[in-house]
Amino acid sequence: MQLSDRIQRVATSATMAMTQAARDRRASGKAVISLSVGEPDFATPSHILDAATRAMTDGHTRYTAADGIAELKQAITSKFTRDNGLTFTPAQINVSPGGKAVLWNALAVTVGPGDEVIIPAPCWVSYPDMVKLTGATPIILSGGTDFKITAEQLEAAITPATRWLMLNSPSNPTGAVYSAKELGALAAVLRRHPKVMVLSDDIYEALVFGEAKFATMASVAPDLTERTLTMNGVSKAYAMTGFRIGYGAGPEWLINAMRKFIGQTTSNPCSISQWAAVAALNGPHDFLDDWRSQYRTRGQAMTTALNKAGLPCVVPDGAFYVFADCTAVMAAKGFSTDADLAMALLEHAGVATVPGSAFYAPGHLRLSYAASMEEVTQACHNIAGFCTH
């Protein structure tokens, strides 16, 4: 049997591939520090684990509604009101097995061959390939030195075939954060194109540092709410990556279509994870201050060390990634691609990174500082030793 044309257009996830390469190296007995995976190294808070245990002992181990239990939908609406000043009804909420599933479900029910989806780059590796899987075409817009697109770029990229603008702030892989003013400028463009929807990926909302302030399109431009899907989840903020709970809030017609799609594909997310997510969203959030402080310290240490090693980068405003320019090191060491450099760092420095080309920004490396300070320090030492000798 021959594979479909769509799946043959899709690349293997570079982040997962590098993470697996690190696992394989470690399994063979070789030392490796993985800075390739976007996963908090902190333990899941105990009140969330307790909620998962209670869910099992209370018998919450059966099928649930396809797109989430009522209690979780209520917790999500409360979160949007509390944190973003947004009002949604439970009928406007979708719960899926991970944030990636929310994005895929939305694209799957709205676009197909002949449609276009605008994606600012550098971008998360999965966005373009998700679009390709629907048969639609990803339109990649490269951001400037701050890794963000302008209103002028957006205006020039929109065509009659454009169906979505996918925004991610704070950004994976760069940590760039769009300000409310910058989102307002993009919104002004979108008002002139009423058929273009906005998919706002806010998964790193809780991880914003320094003077930067989080903003999301639905709050900045309430008049666009009826064509905005705001996606979030519990993975990054609460160290719950394995629980696989993502959620989206948007117009009811879209949520209904996503529910129908889920009913014929994944069905409901894990029942136990849903109850744990209720505890996460409704419970205490004071631990986040300490986590953010530690992330900030690690990010500053990493950028300082990488700049000294000849890998120019800036302290990111959010998320937990540094996106370093590796063109000078590539030239000095004789590597033709950033992927070659990344593999050499794994083999000779024992550090797993992800090449920027996977994020549609060749000549860069993405390094995650969602690792202990000891690992960050040692990894940077190893990288410097390889790059400067």
Every domain range in the chain assigned CATH 3.40.640.10 = 63-282
Strands 354-355 and 321-325: unpaired
What mean pLDDT is reported for the chain?
96
Look up the CATH architecture of domain 63-282: 3-Layer(aba) Sandwich (3.40)
Fold of the 5-43+287-383 domain = Aspartate Aminotransferase, domain 1 (3.90.1150)
Q: How many CB atoms lie within 10 A of CB 104?
A: 21
For every residue of 194-231, DSSP letters joined together read TT-EEEEE-TTTT-B-TT-----HHHH-GGGGGGEEEE
Work out the average pLDDT over 205-231.
97
Rounded to the nearest 5°, which phi and psi values hold at 357? -60, -30
Residue 18 has a pLDDT of: 78
- With residue 72 as reference, give the H or E element that holds it: helix 70-84
Convert the pLDDT of each residue in 297-331 to its tens digit: 999 999 999 999 999 999 999 999 999 999 999 99
pLDDT band for position 26 (50/70/90)? confident
Encode pLDDT of 83-122 as tens digits.
999 999 999 999 999 999 999 999 999 999 999 999 999 9
Is residue 5 pLDDT above 90, yes or no?
no
Angstrom CA distances, 168 to 198, 214, 262, stand at 11, 11, 23
Looking at the chain, which residues constitute the CATH 3.90.1150.10 domain(s)?
5-43+287-383
pLDDT in the model for residue 8: 79
Strand 351-352 vs strand 33-34: parallel, antiparallel, or unpaired?
A: parallel
pLDDT attached to residue 173: 97
Partner residues linked to 162 by β-bridges = 116
Tell me the pairing of strands 93-96 and 116-121. Answer: unpaired
SS3 for 103?
A: helix
Would you say residue 69 has pLDDT above 80? yes
Q: Mean pLDDT across the stretch 49-68? A: 98
- What are the phi and psi torsion angles at 105 (to 5°)? -60, -40
Burial of 193 (C-beta count, 10 Å sphere; 0-12/13-18/19+) = middle
